[in-house]
Structure 1
Amino acid sequence: MRILLTADHVIAFDGTGHTELRDGAVLVGRDRIEWVGPAASTPLDGVDERIDLGAAVLMPGLIDLDALTDVDHLLLDSWSDAAQAKRLAWSEDYFDRRRHVFTEAERRRVREVALVQLALHGITSYMPIASEVHSAWAESADDFFAMAEFSSRLGLRGFLGPSYRSGVGVVTADGRRDVRFDEQAGRDGLDDAIRFVDGIRALDDPLLTGVFLPCRIETLTPELMEATARAAAERGALVRIHALQGEFERTSIQARYGRTPLEHLAAHGLLHDRVIVPHGTVIDINPRVHGEDRGDLARIAAAGVAIVHCPLTNARYGSELVTLSRYREAGIVFALGTDSFPPDLIRGIDTGVSAAKVQHGSTGAGDVAAYVDAATLGGAAALHRPDLGRIAPGATADLTAFRLDDVRMGAVDDPLRTLVLAGTARDACLTMVGGRVVMRDGEIPGIDLAEVHRDMQALFDTMRAAYAERDYRGTAGELFPPVYRVADTAAFEERA
């Protein structure tokens, strides 16, 4: 099966970087790109299908290395103050009576509706992230085998593994943040993760790759970190670990182990070029730490660790990367993630570019190309997959297109600048993975999107209701006040 795709704008790879090819064409044979060039010079012999995208930008498939595979918890906890945030975590008492908020079938459906959202937003490759707050502990291999089956059937490229941890953040009865540990649960979680990674390898599915995804660094014992490093090294697998992302993380690790989180990663075998770290913001150059370069950037770069920047989520939680240009100048492998809903890397790029202008005090700051590189070439480098993230002969045919002809897009100047400033990932009109069309014009074969919408709301309502039972104050008060108070409809009727 050979498919010819044409578009007004094609972001093609010229051997050194991305370049814009106007009135371009891409010929796909099986799962690979065979030819890229001007549409007028297209070799038409043997073409089985033609997809004319017209006023659109066709680009490499977007790679999301912190992709939400959950219902949207950010709707709840990103609007809380410090006192409120404590009430959204586990109480210490809940640690001893923890439970799964969702049934097994509901957990499976949570991941299914989230994966559909990725495809709708132009994501072709993803590494999942979910909240453990509504699990009895973390995630299981069985949950992920079910997810892997659906992901492959849907047609996305997944780098998958269940999360695991040996501790969980809690709030004590007197309102202090702490971490409580269950070391056996951590060991069991790693065993389960090994079972999953080995099982995925045995499937030999090109769309599925097993990786190790331990939770936040402050919830892992040194023993679990070292066991993870050994298991991954034995299998040549990637490890993603959330670290360098919060002040509580930094202070708690320093208090418990006498070293910084970066030093902690290195001490336990998790600072090398097969390690991926979201978010990487709380290091020495951050004003909340030292506000000066004391060597953290150079150490990260020398180790080859990839940083996953999630600019939209960072902004919503009041965090920032200081700064993209400094990380890139240091030679750090840089990828992008969404980490929340919507899984919109276009809005993420816009947020990152805008934040850079504020940080530098200059409208000349904010490098759109650097962010697009991160969402494509950077993600591919982090995954050690040079066949991804580029449109070039021989590359894997993972492609995404965004329409530019919607009247609400306005005038088109540069296609990517226009998309970032005036569009969102909802403008995606094509998602192709391995030469197979996964989404076209907002439709996914075999998926009832109305049902997905209904199920997502029902699952969210279930998750939301469970927060009250974890409140460290033991109350079922209103944890999530509305923007405006909800009107008394009876009072309106009386006035009418």
Structure 2
Amino acid sequence: MRTRWRARHVLAHQDGGHALLRDGEVVWQDDTVIYVGPRYEGEVDEERDLGESLVMPGLIDLDALTDVDHLVLDSWAGPERGKGLQWSMDYFTHRRHDVFTPQERATIREYALAQLALHGITTFMPIASEVHSRWAEPYDELVDMAGTARRIGLRGYLGPAYRSGVNVVLPDGTRDVAFDEEEGRAGLRDAVRFLDHLDERADPLLTGVLLPCRIETLTEELLGETARIARERGALIRLHALQGLAEREIIQRRHDGLTPLELLDKHGLLGPNLLIPHTVLLDRHPAVHGEDRGDLALLAASGISVIHCPQTSLRYSEMLHSFRAYREAGVNLCLGTDSFPPDLIRGMDVGVHLAKIAEGRSDAAPAEHYVEAATLGGARALGREDLGRIAVGAQADLVAFSLDDIRDGVMDDPVRTFLLNGTARQATNSVVAGNPVLVDGALPGTDLPRLARDAQALFEKMRAAYSERDTERRDTGTLFPPTFPAFRAAGSAGPESGSPA
């Protein structure tokens, strides 16, 4: 099957990097690109003229939300209210349970994966909150997610999240981690079982990876076993670490003064197969030492990849210090969304401007460097030279964004203008391994109105469950107060009830 896309702008690959092709064509046969250039002279079976669009390599999201978003509930929480969003010790000890049934969980996954596809993401590595699970992610749940990803047509790097402990609030209001080591061992067994499952399935779009949770929730035993299995299986590891001061304090208290980075190094985890989301709290961070004492050099020498999630970092009052410094040190930077919306276009724009603030200079992180992170950087992290680029021999993973809306403003450079003025909601079409995923802004075979209704109901159920985990068992009205008080209708109590006719 030979297919051609034609568009006003194509972000092609040439001489080792991206290059802008005006009025270009991309042709692929089966799953592989066979032509990139101004005009293809051969015969094709299908073609699309996408008009005033920007065709890019499919976006790679390596911290992709596959859940109902909780950031909408907790990103604006102050210290006191924020304590109620963690598990209480009583809940951990006596009452922990799954908030959702397996079928509800499957619906949540379908909703989240549909969101990724609608925003132009073609390759993803999932992230979900364990707050509303009895512990972490069971094997069967990931088997179901693999099936959903394959039905929608996305390229997934999957594995069940596992942990030995969970962040809790103690009765005195302080934060700690409560451990259940057998849960951690069982989770790792499930992770290995899932690697076996995908090996047996031998689906080119689905790859098994190891996804332990946050570093402070893992025992040294689990860290060491994760490193050993990854070496034996040649598997990638993604581990959330270097995220904040609470994590750093817990690690140093529990591990004889070791920093999170030193703990990773101790267990042989620092290597090219490790991906670390966020990675903001290095020695150069103002809350640590405020200067470079070698952390960046260690990360670069080890070959790890940093999954930068600028939009989520901003919403939790964090940022890299700085994108340019990490890049110039030789650290491979890739991108993730980690929250809703899974919009890497908005994320890239936010990152460009956060970098300006971090360094006090307008050229701290040009738009093209962020586009490279969302494409080539993600491909490097995955060890895939055939992803993240539009070039002959590469996988036909492509996404088209429409640029013909007057609300996009005037056009200068199509990439820079799109990042500044646009959003990923302008995605109209995408293909993964040459197969259509997003078609004229829709997902064939997916009932989006049903998913929207179901997701809202499940969000309400998730929101209500915070009360039972709260140390003080506060109601949701207290935990999540509205932005403004409710309007009172005429005749209700109060001096300002109603309004003149």
Q: TM-score range by the shorter chain?
A: over 0.9
**1:92 corresponds to which residue?**
89
Q: CA deviation at 1:361?
A: 2.1
Output the CA distance in 1 between the equivalents of 2:474 and 2:22.
60
**Which ranges of 4 or more aligned residues in structure 1 deviate by more than 6 Å?**
none
**1:124 corresponds to which residue?**
122
Output the CA distance in 2 between the equivalents of 1:65 and 1:211.
12
Q: CA deviation at 1:15?
A: 3.2
**1:66 corresponds to which residue?**
63
Q: CA deviation at 1:423?
A: 0.6
**1:259 corresponds to which residue?**
258
Task: Say which is worse superposed, 352-361 or 365-374, in terms of deviation.
Answer: 352-361
**1:405 corresponds to which residue?**
404
Normalised TM-score (structure 2): 0.97
**Aligned with 1:42: secondary structure?**
coil
Question: 1:421-477: CA deviations, max 9, x gaps?
Answer: 111000111121000110022211101111111111111111001011111112325
8 Å CA contact 1:64–1:336 kept in 2: the answer is yes
Correspondence 1:20-419 to 2 at 5 A = 20-38=20-38, 41-45=39-43, 47-96=44-93, 97-257=95-255, 258-419=257-418
Q: CA deviation at 1:386?
A: 0.7
Q: CA deviation at 1:362?
A: 2.6
Question: 1:196-218: CA deviations, max 9, x gaps?
Answer: 11101110001100000000000
8 Å CA contact 2:320–2:358 kept in 1: the answer is no
**Aligned with 1:113: secondary structure?**
helix
Output the CA distance in 2 between the equivalents of 1:436 and 1:424.
24
**Aligned with 1:24: secondary structure?**
strand
2:442 counterpart of 1:443: yes
Q: Which amino acid aligns with 2:104?
A: E
Output the CA distance in 2 between the equivalents of 1:489 and 1:74.
32
Q: Which runs of 5+ in 2 are unaligned?
A: none
Output the CA distance in 2 between the equivalents of 1:457 and 1:153.
23
Output the CA distance in 2 between the equivalents of 1:467 and 1:4.
50
Q: CA deviation at 1:495?
A: 5.6
Q: CA deviation at 1:412?
A: 1.3
Q: CA deviation at 1:334?
A: 0.6
Q: Which amino acid aligns with 2:65?
A: L
Question: 1:255-299: CA deviations, max 9, x gaps?
Answer: 111200000001112111100000110010001110011100000
Output the CA distance in 1 between the equivalents of 2:382 and 2:19.
22
Q: Which runs of 5+ in 1 are unaligned?
A: none
**2:461 corresponds to which residue?**
462
8 Å CA contact 2:324–2:364 kept in 1: the answer is no
Q: Which amino acid aligns with 2:51?
A: G
Task: Say which is worse superposed, 474-483 or 119-128, in terms of deviation.
Answer: 474-483
Output the CA distance in 2 between the equivalents of 1:318 and 1:455.
31
**1:5 corresponds to which residue?**
5
8 Å CA contact 1:173–1:473 kept in 2: the answer is no
Q: Which amino acid aligns with 1:163?
A: A
Output the CA distance in 1 between the equivalents of 2:98 and 2:391.
46
Question: 1:102-143: CA deviations, max 9, x gaps?
Answer: 011001111110000000000000000000000000001100
**Aligned with 2:248: secondary structure?**
helix
**Aligned with 2:35: secondary structure?**
strand
Q: Which amino acid aligns with 2:372?
A: D
Output the CA distance in 2 between the equivalents of 1:185 and 1:359.
40
8 Å CA contact 1:132–1:138 kept in 2: the answer is yes
Q: CA deviation at 1:494?
A: 7.7
8 Å CA contact 1:276–1:305 kept in 2: the answer is yes
Output the CA distance in 2 between the equivalents of 1:296 and 1:18.
30
Q: Which amino acid aligns with 2:80?
A: A
Identity %: 58
Q: CA RMSD in A?
A: 1.1
Q: Which amino acid aligns with 1:24?
A: G
Q: How many residues align?
A: 493
Output the CA distance in 2 between the equivalents of 1:331 and 1:359.
19
8 Å CA contact 2:107–2:451 kept in 1: the answer is no
Output the CA distance in 2 between the equivalents of 1:359 and 1:233.
37
Q: CA deviation at 1:88?
A: 0.6
Normalised TM-score (structure 1): 0.98
Output the CA distance in 1 between the equivalents of 2:474 and 2:351.
38
